[in-house]
């Protein structure tokens, strides 16, 4: 079986060399195709951080094992890591956080074991990076949460939870505030939960989740979240088990999967051969499990756990009274411990069952679409207009534009209603949201909306607009605070 390997930037080559040396010593039956990806490739003029040859190799092999890659600083440049995850639709980011014997934390000292798997949605949310300045004062980010995208990652999380016989699967969200976006994600969670009656499924608001992860981490098992919340919560979980040096990550897609550590390029220690290779090694072990190389994975993981138990450590963790080892020496120690069993949490050694990689060659992009329920109608429109006038004077002008089809419903500023009722204590910025709805209850069409747009633009700069859609009785838009 052949996989693509990109060593990455910063500490990437050092830790990748250490991990591949461990694989080689264990006779892991994998061949490697080294591909050009990273900041250094970007610097050569490849704007997505990879050469066309690298893209072709990864798309034909289906598996990428990668070191961390630096995101070039400066405006307009997207993260190479995020581009890779999104381009190949690796929709689920699985991160396993387990207490490791020998890695002291407040919880290990208190005898509280941690075994939490975070599944983070990997494509959508603010990571779409769809951002605009509406005026020089006001920036807007579009946060897309989709039904098919949510179902895809949530279904993966349930399937994984079933296989690992999880005690509990929890959806973390902020649906109390983001009722439409996080509300959709939460609805999808409970929709999928019906297919897995054997699993205890529940949900928790993300701020409460953070507090409970710190006070009762052993009460959680599998946690599934949207992208940004998942990113933050998973770093919190890394802190629970000893830091980023122990946080592996698998980006799972239908055709292509990417295995990498959670941490970055650690520029402060790059080139010194002192980085901790554990997170990348754990990611590599989960990749071996993924391709059915369970025996190699078991032997290497037991050797790693034994090494940690015996107090061998790089400079970023462990007993500071004992001298630390460097990256190469740490890898040597793991190799010398092949065949040994850790006292705590030894892994079973199951014979390899390498799966044959399914050949795939897509002819066109997959369209993910779910069935619409109820008739879609347009019942109004939100226009985001630039103005530094007071709400009442905006209302007077807007009402004139409504004509025979539209009624001005309300005006809000940063999501707080300021007309027809509001408070003089609400501070304003120079973008207002003026909401018009159909006057006579009749559905509207796009020409009606465009007519209003043109009319309104006589008085104001229209920065952005959104249709107010409705499916049957279900409104597809939020109300302003105070409406």
Member of 103, 240, 266, 282 binding ligand NAI (CB under 6 A): 266
The number of C-alpha atoms within 13 Å of 333 and in the hemisphere containing its C-beta is 21
69 binds ligand NAI (CB under 6 A): yes
275 binds ligand NAI (CB under 6 A): yes
294 binds ligand NAI (CB under 6 A): no
Using the minimum distance from each CB to ligand NAI, give the nearer residue, 18 or 381: 18
What is the spatial order of strands in the sheet that 248-252 belongs to?
A: 31-34, 2-6, 63-66, 257-261, 248-252, 92-98, 115-121, 222-225, 169-173, 201-205
How near is the Cβ of 272 to ligand NAI at its closest, in Å? 10
Q: Are 117 and 240 in contact (CB under 8 A)?
A: no
**Scanning residues 384 to 413, which ones bind ligand NAI (CB under 6 A)?**
none
Write the CB contacts of 89 (distance below 8 Å, at least 6 apart in sequence). 123, 253, 254, 255, 256, 366
Using the minimum distance from each CB to ligand NAI, give the nearer residue, 89 or 327: 327
User: Of 69-77, 144-152, 304-312, 474-482, which part binds ligand NAI (CB under 6 A)?
Assistant: 69-77
Please state, in angstroms and rounded to a whole number, the distance separating the CA atoms of residues 374 and 115.
43
Please state, in angstroms and rounded to a whole number, the distance separating the CA atoms of residues 407 and 468.
13
User: Of 160-168, 206-214, 263-271, 456-464, which part binds ligand NAI (CB under 6 A)?
Assistant: 263-271
CA distances 165 to 157, 159, 200, 287, Å, are 12, 10, 11, 20
Q: Which two tokens stand for residue 99?
A: 């207490």
276 binds ligand NAI (CB under 6 A): yes
263 binds ligand NAI (CB under 6 A): yes
How near is the Cβ of 266 to ligand NAI at its closest, in Å? 4
Q: What does the per-residue mask of binding to ligand NAI show for 305-334, with x meaning CB under 6 A?
A: -----------x------------------
373 binds ligand NAI (CB under 6 A): no
Using the minimum distance from each CB to ligand NAI, give the nearer residue, 326 or 464: 326
How near is the Cβ of 295 to ligand NAI at its closest, in Å? 26
Please state, in angstroms and rounded to a whole number, the distance separating the CA atoms of residues 59 and 131.
29
41 binds ligand NAI (CB under 6 A): no
Member of 244, 349, 439, 479 binding ligand NAI (CB under 6 A): 244
Q: Which residues pair with 250 in a beta bridge?
A: 94, 259
Q: Are 279 and 247 in contact (CB under 8 A)?
A: yes
Please state, in angstroms and rounded to a whole number, the distance separating the CA atoms of residues 63 and 258.
6
DSSP assigned state of 171:
E
User: Of 18-26, 104-112, 261-269, 462-470, which part binds ligand NAI (CB under 6 A)?
Assistant: 261-269
Q: What's the burial of 321, exposed, middle or buried (CB within 10 Å: 0-12/13-18/19+)? A: exposed
Please state, in angstroms and rounded to a whole number, the distance separating the CA atoms of residues 81 and 91.
13
Q: ∠424-428-430 over CA atoms, to 5°?
A: 145
Task: Return contacts of 190-194, CB within 8 angstroms, 24+ apart.
Answer: 191/151, 192/151, 192/154, 192/155, 192/158, 193/158, 193/169
User: Of 183-191, 258-266, 346-354, 375-383, which part binds ligand NAI (CB under 6 A)?
Assistant: 258-266
14 binds ligand NAI (CB under 6 A): no
Select the residue whose beta carbon is closest to ligand NAI and give its number.
264
71 binds ligand NAI (CB under 6 A): yes
247 binds ligand NAI (CB under 6 A): no
Member of 30, 54, 62, 81 binding ligand NAI (CB under 6 A): 81
68 binds ligand NAI (CB under 6 A): yes
Using the minimum distance from each CB to ligand NAI, give the nearer residue, 39 or 435: 39
Applying CB under 6 A, which residues contact ligand NAI?
11, 68-71, 81, 244-245, 260, 263-269, 275-276, 279, 316
């Amino acid at each position: 079986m052949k996989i693509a390997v990109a060593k990455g930037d910063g500490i990437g080559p050092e830790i990748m060399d250490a991990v591949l040396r461990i694989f080689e010593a264990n006779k892991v039956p994998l061949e490697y195709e080294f591909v050009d990806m990273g900041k250094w490739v970007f610097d050569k003029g490849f704007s997505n951080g990879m050469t066309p040859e690298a893209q072709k190799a990864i798309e034909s092999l289906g598996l990428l094992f990668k070191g961390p890659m630096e995101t070039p600083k400066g405006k307009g440049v997207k993260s190479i890591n995020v581009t890779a995850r999104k381009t190949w639709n690796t929709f689920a980011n699985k991160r396993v956080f387990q207490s490791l014997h020998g890695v002291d934390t407040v919880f290990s000292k208190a005898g509280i074991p941690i075994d939490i798997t975070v599944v983070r949605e990997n494509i959508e949310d603010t990571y779409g990076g769809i951002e605009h300045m509406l005026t020089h004062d006001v920036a807007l980010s579009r946060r897309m949460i989709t039904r098919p995208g949510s179902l895809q990652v949530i279904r993966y999380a349930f399937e994984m939870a079933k296989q690992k016989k999880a005690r509990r699967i929890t959806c973390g969200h902020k649906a109390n505030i983001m009722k439409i976006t996080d509300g959709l994600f939460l609805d999808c969670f409970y929709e999928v939960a019906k297919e897995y009656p054997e699993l205890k499924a529940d949900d928790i608001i993300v701020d409460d989740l953070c507090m409970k992860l710190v006070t009762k981490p052993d009460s959680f098992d599998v946690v599934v979240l949207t992208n940004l919340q998942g990113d933050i919560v998973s770093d919190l979980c890394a802190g629970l088990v000893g830091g980023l040096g122990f946080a592996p990550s698998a980006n799972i897609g239908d055709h292509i999967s990417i295995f990498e550590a959670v941490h970055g390029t650690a520029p402060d220690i790059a080139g010194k051969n002192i980085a901790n290779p554990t997170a990348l090694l754990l990611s590599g072990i989960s990749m071996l499990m993924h391709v059915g190389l369970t025996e190699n994975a078991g032997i290497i993981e037991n050797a790693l756990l034994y090494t940690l138990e015996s107090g061998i450590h790089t400079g970023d963790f462990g007993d500071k009274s004992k001298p630390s080892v460097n990256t190469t020496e740490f890898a040597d120690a793991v190799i010398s411990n092949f065949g040994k069993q850790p006292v705590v949490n030894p892994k079973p050694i199951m014979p390899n069952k390498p799966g044959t990689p399914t050949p795939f060659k897509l002819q066109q992009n997959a369209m993910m679409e779910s069935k619409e329920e109820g008739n879609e109608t347009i019942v109004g429109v939100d226009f985001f207009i630039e103005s530094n006038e007071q709400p009442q004077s905006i209302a007077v002008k807007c009402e004139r534009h409504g004509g025979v089809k539209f009624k001005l419903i309300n005006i809000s500023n940063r999501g707080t209603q300021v007309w027809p009722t509001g408070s003089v204590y609400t501070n304003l910025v120079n973008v207002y949201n003026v909401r018009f709805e159909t006057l006579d209850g009749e559905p509207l069409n796009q020409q009606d909306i465009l007519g209003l747009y043109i009319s309104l633009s006589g008085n104001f700069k229209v920065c952005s607009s959104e249709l107010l859609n409705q499916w049957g009785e279900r409104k597809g838009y939020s109300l302003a605070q105070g409406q």
